[in-house]
């Protein structure tokens, strides 16, 4: 079972330099805003070998808590003896609790919203082109729909992986 930590508890631990904070969001998200002192290791790259230290408890965070939970599972599978915590609610909960963030002024849509926007555009485009050009374009909408179903069932989203590699997310 993955241990969790609240933003208030984390703030106290960070002030006393008792934990190592890892941000598993994408580089562009981290550059947009971050918790001071967080070390960036995107979810796709996280491993025990990449951790800067294992001498202190490790707290993992992302935007809302889903990616950080996956990172905790991945790290614990590699080393069950790690003292690791997931920040409840991610950086969103951190901000809602009144804790300070470093705002670097760069605005980027979070990766999950980029996926929603791209999927919506592709599905809409497939329907419009299917109605106006050729019924074969309906397959585009079906393909994107199947991809979303697969992502929901498996937790792996090819579109998110592709969008994470785009220049605006680096």
* Confidence (pTM): 0.71
Average pLDDT along the chain, 170 residues, taken 10 residues at a time: 93 95 91 91 93 94 93 95 95 94 77 91 97 96 95 89 85
pLDDT at residue 31, rounded to an integer: 84
DSSP 3-state of 49: helix
CA distance 78 to 67: 17
Token pair for 44: 């796709």
Q: Is 99 a catalytic residue?
A: no
34, 39, 62, 72: the catalytic one is 62
> What are 40's strand-pairing partners?
23
pLDDT at residue 106, as a whole number: 67
CB contact at 8 A, 27 and 113: no
State phi, psi for 33 to the nearest 5 degrees: -160, 145
- Cα distance between residue 114 and residue 159, in whole Å: 9
CB-CB contact of 93 with 7 (8 Å): yes
């Amino acid at each position: 079972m993955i241990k969790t930590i609240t933003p208030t508890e984390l703030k106290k631990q960070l002030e006393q330099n008792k934990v190592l904070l890892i941000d598993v969001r994408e580089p562009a998200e981290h550059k947009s805003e971050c918790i001071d002192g967080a070390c960036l290791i995107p979810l796709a790259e996280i491993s025990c070998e990449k951790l800067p230290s294992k001498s202190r408890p490790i707290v993992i965070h992302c935007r809302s808590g889903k990616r950080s939970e996956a990172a905790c599972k991945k790290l614990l599978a590699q080393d069950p003896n790690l003292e690791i915590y997931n920040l409840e609610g991610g950086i969103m909960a951190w901000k809602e609790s009144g804790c300070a963030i470093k705002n670097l002024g760069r605005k980027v849509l979070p990766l999950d919203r980029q996926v929603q926007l791209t999927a919506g555009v592709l599905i809409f485009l497939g329907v419009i082109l299917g109605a106006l050009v050729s019924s074969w374009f309906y397959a585009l909408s079906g393909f994107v729909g199947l991809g979303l179903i697969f992502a929901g069932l498996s937790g792996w989203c090819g579109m998110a992986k592709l969008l994470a590699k785009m220049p605006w997310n680096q």
